[in-house]
C-alpha cells in the first residue's frame, strides 16, 4: 500500500525574467505581485521627491533650515517659520508632488494605450484646446484666475469631444482618433497664434506665461480639490491599471485573458483625460512631464514598456525639482515652471540617452 | 546593388490573386492620372498666387508681366512682389512636404513631423539668441541664424540618437529629437518670457509667413532645397526596404545606416531651409504624406512624388486665402495652413476605404 500524499506537490514558480515579490493576505484571498526593481525605483524616486520637497520648503527669500522645516511640518513651528513653511510654501510643494504624479500617470496611460512613445493626452487635442479657452478668457474677456481655469477646462473638454465626434464612425478606430486629434490641434494652435499676435504685448506675455504653466498663484484652496480628484482617479487606476499591460499585447490576446476591452479602454482614457484636465485647470498646461516621465521611468526600471507607479514617482520628482529651479534660478524673477520642466526634462532624457551610448 | 522593392501591393496583375487595395488607386495608370490631376491643381495654385491679392490682376496682364515686362505698376507688383513670393511658396511647400514624408518613412511613426529632429527648435533657439544677444532684425540675418540653428540641432540629435541598433533605432532618434527640441524650446521660451522685445520679435517670426520675401532670399535658399529634393527622391527606394524592418531590409541589400544618415541630411537641408525662409510652418509635413499614402498606397516612390505635387498646393492655397480673408491686411500663411488642411484631412479619414496607419 502506498502512503497517502501529505499535500499538493510543490510547483516551481514561473520565470518572469526579473525578480518579483508576492504579497499575500493570510488566507491567500488577496495577493499582489510586483517587480522588485520597479518597486525599488518607485520607492527611491518617491523618497528623493519628498526630500527635495522638504528642501524646497526651506529655500526662498526667507531661508529656513531643514530641521526647522521638519518640526514646522510636525506642528511644532513658531510664528514666522510656521507662516512661511506651512501657509505659504507647503501648498505649492504639495501641489507640485500631486500634479507631477498625476501628469506622470496620465502620460503613462496614453503612451501605453497608443503604443507610441510620443503618445500624450494631447493626441486628443486637450492641451491645445485648453490654451484656446484660456486665451479667449485672458485676451477677450480679461477674466480672473478662476475664470481662466474654467475657460481652460471648457476649451479642453470641448476639443476632446470634438475630436471624438470627428473620429466616430460606427465605433472608434485608433488611427482615426489620432488623425482627428492632429487636425483639430493644428487648427486650434493656429487660432492661438492668431490671438497672441493680435493682442497687446503685455496681454500676450501674461497669456504666454499661463500657457507655459506656472505654480505662482496657487494656495491652500487648490490643494483640497486636487487631492480629492487624485485620490479618486488613483483608486480607479488601481482597479484598471493592470489591464494596461494586458491591452498592450493586442486585442485578441487581451480578450483571451479576460480583459473587457471597450470598458477598460474607455475608463483608462477618461481617467487619463481627467488627470490632465485637473492639472491644466489648476496651473495651466505644463509641457513635457507627461511625455518624458514614463520614458525616463521605463529606462530606469528596464521594463518592456511604461508602467504606472514609477511614472507617477518620476513625474512628482521632475515637477518638484523644476519648481525649485524656476523659483530660484533667476531670483527675484520667477520663471514659469513649464519652461523649466521642458528644459530639465529634456536634459535628463539627453543624459540617459548618452549613457546608453557609452554603455554600448 | 540597389534594393529591390518587394512591397506587396496592388501591382499584382492577376485579378484572381489581387491583394486587397492598399490605397484608393490600384494601378499605376490610375496613379499617373491622379498625378496629372495634382499637377493641374498645382498650376492653378501658382496662377492664383500670382493673380490674387489686395489687388487682383487679370490673366492677360499677368501673362504680359511675365513675358513682356514694361515697368507699369501692375507689372511691378507681379514681378517684384508676387513672383518671388510664389516661387518661395513653391519651394517651401516642396521642402516641408518632402521632409515630412522622409521622417515618417524613416521613423515609421505616423505622428512624426519634420520638427521631430529638433529642426524647428534649433532654428528658433538661434534666432532668439540672434535677437537677444546680437540684436539682429532683418530677414536676411534671420535666414542664416535660423539655418545654422537647424543644422546644429540636427547634428546634436543625430549624434545622440544614431547609436541605436535594430528596430529601436527610429525610436531612439525620435526620443533624442524630442529631448533636444524640448531643451532648446524651453530655453527659447525662458528668454522670450524674460525679455519683452525678444518676445515681440519672436511672436511674429513664430507665425510663419511668406510676406516680404524677395528674389535674393529665394536664390539664397533655393540651392539647399533643390539639393535636398534630389537626395530625397533618390532615397525613396531604400526607404521602401527600410519600411519592412531592419533585418529584412539588410537581407534585401539596402544599406540601412547609410539610408538613415542621408535621410537626416535631406531633412536638415529641406526643413532647415524652409524654416529659415518662412519661419516655422507646421502641419504641411504632417498631413500631406498621409494624404499621399491614402491615395497611392505604401510605395514610397509614389508617396514622394505625390507629396512633391500636393504640398505646394496646400501652402500656396493657404497663402492666397490669407491674402484675401482680411483684405487689405494679411493673415500669416502659418496660421491659415491648418484651417485649410485640417478639414480636408478629417473628410479623408471618414471615407470608408481609407487604410489604417
- Gap from A46 CA to chain B (nearest CA, Å): 23
CA distance readout (Å), B231 to B239, B254, B265: 12, 16, 9
* Mean pLDDT, residues A18-31: 80
Evaluate whether B357 touches A178 at the Cβ level (below 8 Å).
yes
Is B199's CB within 8 Å of A205's CB?
A: yes
Is B346's CB within 8 Å of A330's CB?
A: no
Residue window 229-258, chain A: list those with CB within 8 Å of chain B.
none
Structure confidence at residue A97 as a pLDDT band (50, 70, 90): very high
- Gap from A62 CA to chain B (nearest CA, Å): 24
In this model, does residue A106 exceed pLDDT 80? yes
* Dist CA B213 CA B226 (whole Å): 18
Three-state DSSP state, B176? helix
- Gap from B190 CA to chain A (nearest CA, Å): 6
- Sort out which chain A residues have CB atoms less than 8 A from B326's CB and list them: none
- Gap from A8 CA to chain B (nearest CA, Å): 45
DSSP assignment of B141-184: HHHHHHHHHHHHHHHHHHHHHTT--GGGHHHHHHHHHHHHHHHH
> Least CA distance to B331: which residue of chain A?
A194
How does the average pLDDT of chain A come out, rounded? 83
> Least CA distance to B339: which residue of chain A?
A187
Count of CA atoms in the C-beta half-sphere (13 A) of B345: 30
- Sort out which chain B residues have CB atoms less than 8 A from A186's CB and list them: 282-283, 286-287, 338, 341-342
The confidence score (pLDDT) of residue B227 equals 95
- Gap from B345 CA to chain A (nearest CA, Å): 7
Residue window 56-75, chain A: list those with CB within 8 Å of chain B.
none
Parallel, antiparallel, or unpaired for β A20-24 and A31-35?
antiparallel
- CA-based angle A40:A45:A50, to the nearest 5? 125
Which residues on adjacent β-strands are paired with residue B295? none
Which tens digits make up the pLDDT trace of B74-118?
778 787 888 899 999 999 999 999 999 999 898 877 767 887 788
Which tens digits make up the pLDDT trace of B118-142?
888 899 999 999 988 888 877 778 8
Structure confidence at residue B5 as a pLDDT band (50, 70, 90): very low
Choose among A187, A343, A353: nearest Cβ to B187.
A343
In this model, does residue B7 exceed pLDDT 60? no
In this model, does residue A102 exceed pLDDT 50? yes
- Sort out which chain B residues have CB atoms less than 8 A from A204's CB and list them: 199, 203
* Helical H segments across B209-255, by residue range: 215-242, 246-251
Evaluate whether B151 touches A222 at the Cβ level (below 8 Å).
no
Which tens digits make up the pLDDT trace of B176-212?
888 888 889 888 988 888 888 888 888 888 888 888 7
Of A170-174, A255-259, B177-181, the least confident: A170-174
- Sort out which chain B residues have CB atoms less than 8 A from A135's CB and list them: none
Is A186's CB within 8 Å of B174's CB?
A: no
Q: Which residue has the higher pLDDT, A314 or B142?
A: A314
ipTM for the complex shown? 0.78
* Dist CA A45 CA A53 (whole Å): 12
The 10 Å Cβ neighbour count of residue A115 is 13
In this model, does residue B357 exceed pLDDT 70? no
Of A44-53, B218-227, B278-287, the least confident: B278-287
* Mean pLDDT, residues B295-310: 92
- Sort out which chain A residues have CB atoms less than 8 A from B167's CB and list them: none
Which tens digits make up the pLDDT trace of A29-57?
877 777 888 899 999 999 999 999 988 88
Q: How many CB pairs under 8 A join A and B?
A: 158
* Dist CA A155 CA A131 (whole Å): 7
The confidence score (pLDDT) of residue B138 equals 77
Burial class (CB in 10 A: 0-12, 13-18, 19+), B233: middle
Is B207's CB within 8 Å of A174's CB?
A: no
In this model, does residue A16 exceed pLDDT 50? yes
Structure confidence at residue A120 as a pLDDT band (50, 70, 90): confident
* Dist CA B313 CA B49 (whole Å): 10
The 10 Å Cβ neighbour count of residue B298 is 16
* Mean pLDDT, residues A318-331: 86
- Gap from B192 CA to chain A (nearest CA, Å): 9
Q: Which of A112, A29, A94 is nearest to A304 (CA)?
A: A112
Q: Which of A236, A89, A186 is nearest to B115 (CA)?
A: A186
> Does A331 contact chain B (CB < 8 Å)?
no
CA distance readout (Å), B349 to A170, A262, B23, B269, B342: 13, 22, 12, 31, 11
Which residues on adjacent β-strands are paired with residue A22? A33
* Mean pLDDT, residues B256-278: 90
Structure confidence at residue A95 as a pLDDT band (50, 70, 90): very high
* Helical H segments across B28-138, by residue range: 28-51, 59-67, 73-76, 83-107, 119-129
Residue window 161-190, chain A: list those with CB within 8 Å of chain B.
166-167, 169, 173-176, 178-180, 182-184, 186-187, 189-190
The confidence score (pLDDT) of residue B165 equals 61
In this model, does residue B164 exceed pLDDT 70? no
In this model, does residue B24 exceed pLDDT 80? no
* Dist CA B316 CA B90 (whole Å): 7
Three-state DSSP state, A32? strand
Among A182, A205, A207, which would you mutate to test the B interface (most chain B Cβ atoms within 10 Å of its Cβ)? A182
Is A179's CB within 8 Å of B182's CB?
A: no
Which residues on adjacent β-strands are paired with residue A32? A23
Among B120, B190, B208, B285, which would you mutate to test the A interface (most chain A Cβ atoms within 10 Å of its Cβ)? B190
The confidence score (pLDDT) of residue B142 equals 84
The confidence score (pLDDT) of residue B168 equals 64
pTM of the model: 0.77
The confidence score (pLDDT) of residue A94 equals 92
Which tens digits make up the pLDDT trace of B303-355?
999 999 999 999 999 999 988 888 778 888 888 988 888 888 888 878 765 55
- Gap from A148 CA to chain B (nearest CA, Å): 20
Q: Which residue has the higher pLDDT, A170 or A109?
A: A109
The confidence score (pLDDT) of residue A83 equals 79
All cell numbers assigned to A355: 549613457
- Sort out which chain A residues have CB atoms less than 8 A from B289's CB and list them: none
* Dist CA A181 CA A159 (whole Å): 9
> Least CA distance to A331: which residue of chain B?
B194
Is B186's CB within 8 Å of A205's CB?
A: no
> Does A304 contact chain B (CB < 8 Å)?
no
Phi, psi torsion values for B16, nearest 5 degrees? -70, -25
Region for residue B279 given its phi and psi (left: phi exceeds 0; alpha: psi -120 to 50; beta: otherwise): left
The 10 Å Cβ neighbour count of residue A236 is 15
> Does A193 contact chain B (CB < 8 Å)?
yes
Which tens digits make up the pLDDT trace of B42-77?
999 998 888 887 778 887 878 777 777 777 877 787
Choose among A175, A193, A347: nearest Cβ to B356.
A175
Is A346's CB within 8 Å of B181's CB?
A: yes
- Sort out which chain A residues have CB atoms less than 8 A from B338's CB and list them: 183, 186-187, 189-190
Is B193's CB within 8 Å of A357's CB?
A: no
Amino acid at each position: 500500500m502506498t502512503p497517502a500524499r501529505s499535500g499538493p506537490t510543490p510547483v516551481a514558480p514561473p520565470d518572469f525574467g526579473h525578480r518579483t515579490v508576492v504579497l499575500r493576505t493570510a488566507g491567500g484571498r488577496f495577493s499582489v505581485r510586483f517587480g522588485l526593481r520597479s518597486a525599488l525605483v518607485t520607492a527611491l524616486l518617491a523618497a528623493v521627491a519628498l526630500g527635495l520637497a522638504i528642501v524646497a520648503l526651506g529655500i526662498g527669500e526667507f531661508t529656513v533650515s531643514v530641521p526647522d522645516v521638519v518640526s514646522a511640518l510636525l506642528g511644532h513651528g513658531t510664528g514666522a517659520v510656521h507662516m512661511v513653511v506651512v501657509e505659504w510654501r507647503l501648498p505649492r510643494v504639495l501641489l507640485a508632488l500631486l500634479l507631477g504624479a498625476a501628469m506622470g500617470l496620465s502620460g503613462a496611460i496614453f503612451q501605453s494605450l497608443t503604443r507610441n512613445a510620443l503618445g500624450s493626452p494631447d493626441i486628443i487635442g486637450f492641451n491645445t484646446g485648453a490654451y484656446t479657452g484660456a486665451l479667449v478668457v485672458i485676451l477677450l474677456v480679461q477674466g480672473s484666475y478662476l475664470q481662466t481655469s474654467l475657460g481652460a477646462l471648457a476649451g479642453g473638454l470641448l476639443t476632446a469631444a470634438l475630436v471624438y465626434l470627428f473620429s466616430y464612425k460606427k465605433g472608434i478606430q485608433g488611427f482615426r482618433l489620432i488623425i482627428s486629434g492632429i487636425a483639430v490641434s493644428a487648427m486650434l494652435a493656429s487660432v492661438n497664434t492668431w490671438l497672441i499676435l493680435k493682442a497687446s504685448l503685455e496681454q500676450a506675455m501674461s497669456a504666454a506665461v499661463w500657457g507655459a504653466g506656472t505654480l505662482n498663484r496657487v494656495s491652500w484652496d487648490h490643494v483640497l480639490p486636487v487631492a480629492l480628484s487624485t485620490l479618486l482617479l488613483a483608486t480607479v487606476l488601481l482597479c484598471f491599471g493592470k489591464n494596461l499591460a494586458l491591452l498592450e499585447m493586442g486585442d485578441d490576446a487581451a480578450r483571451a485573458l479576460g480583459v473587457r476591452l471597450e470598458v477598460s479602454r474607455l475608463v483608462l482614457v477618461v481617467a487619463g483625460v481627467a488627470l490632465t484636465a485637473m492639472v491644466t485647470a489648476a496651473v495651466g498646461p505644463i509641457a513635457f512631464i507627461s511625455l518624458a516621465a514614463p520614458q525616463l521611468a521605463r529606462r530606469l526600471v528596464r521594463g518592456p514598456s511604461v508602467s504606472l507607479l514609477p511614472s507617477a514617482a518620476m513625474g512628482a520628482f521632475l515637477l518638484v525639482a523644476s519648481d525649485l529651479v524656476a523659483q530660484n534660478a533667476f531670483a527675484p524673477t520667477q520663471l514659469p515652471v513649464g519652461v523649466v520642466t521642458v528644459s530639465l526634462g529634456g536634459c535628463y532624457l539627453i543624459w540617459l540617452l548618452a549613457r546608453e551610448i557609452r554603455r554600448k | 546593388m540597389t534594393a529591390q522593392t518587394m512591397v506587396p501591393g496592388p501591382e499584382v496583375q492577376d485579378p484572381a490573386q489581387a491583394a486587397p487595395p492598399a490605397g484608393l488607386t490600384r494601378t499605376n495608370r490610375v496613379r499617373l492620372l491622379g498625378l496629372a490631376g495634382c499637377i493641374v491643381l498645382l498650376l492653378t495654385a501658382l496662377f492664383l498666387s500670382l493673380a490674387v491679392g489686395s489687388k487682383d490682376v487679370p490673366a492677360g496682364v499677368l501673362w504680359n508681366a511675365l513675358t513682356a515686362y514694361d515697368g507699369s505698376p501692375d507689372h511691378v507688383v507681379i514681378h517684384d512682389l508676387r513672383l518671388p513670393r510664389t516661387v518661395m511658396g513653391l519651394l517651401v511647400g516642396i521642402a516641408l512636404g518632402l521632409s515630412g514624408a522622409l521622417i515618417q518613412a524613416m521613423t515609421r511613426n505616423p505622428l512624426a513631423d519634420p520638427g521631430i529632429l529638433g529642426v524647428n527648435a534649433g532654428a528658433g533657439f538661434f534666432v532668439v539668441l540672434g535677437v537677444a544677444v546680437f540684436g539682429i532684425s532683418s530677414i536676411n540675418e534671420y535666414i542664416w541664424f535660423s539655418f545654422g540653428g537647424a543644422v546644429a540641432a540636427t547634428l546634436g540629435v543625430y549624434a545622440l540618437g544614431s547609436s541605436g541598433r535594430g528596430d529601436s533605432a527610429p525610436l531612439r532618434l525620435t526620443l533624442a529629437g524630442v529631448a533636444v527640441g524640448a531643451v532648446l524650446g524651453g530655453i527659447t521660451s525662458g528668454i522670450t518670457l524674460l525679455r519683452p522685445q525678444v518676445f515681440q520679435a519672436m511672436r511674429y517670426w513664430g507665425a510663419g509667413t511668406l510676406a516680404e520675401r524677395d528674389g535674393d532670399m529665394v536664390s539664397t535658399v533655393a540651392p539647399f532645397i533643390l539639393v535636398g529634393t534630389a537626395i530625397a527622391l533618390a532615397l525613396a527606394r531604400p526607404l521602401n526596404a527600410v519600411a519592412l524592418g531592419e533585418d529584412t531590409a539588410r537581407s534585401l541589400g539596402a544599406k540601412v545606416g547609410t539610408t538613415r544618415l542621408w535621410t537626416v541630411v535631406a531633412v536638415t537641408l529641406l526643413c532647415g531651409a524652409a524654416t529659415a525662409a518662412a519661419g516655422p510652418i507646421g502641419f504641411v509635413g504632417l498631413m500631406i504624406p498621409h494624404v499621399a499614402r491614402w491615395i497611392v498606397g505604401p510605395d514610397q516612390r509614389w508617396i514622394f512624388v505625390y507629396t512633391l505635387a500636393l504640398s505646394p498646393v496646400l501652402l500656396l492655397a493657404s497663402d492666397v486665402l490669407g491674402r484675401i480673408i482680411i483684405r487689405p491686411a494679411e493673415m500669416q500663411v502659418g496660421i491659415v495652413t491648418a484651417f485649410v488642411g485640417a478639414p480636408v484631412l478629417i473628410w479623408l479619414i471618414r471615407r470608408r476605404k481609407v487604410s489604417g496607419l
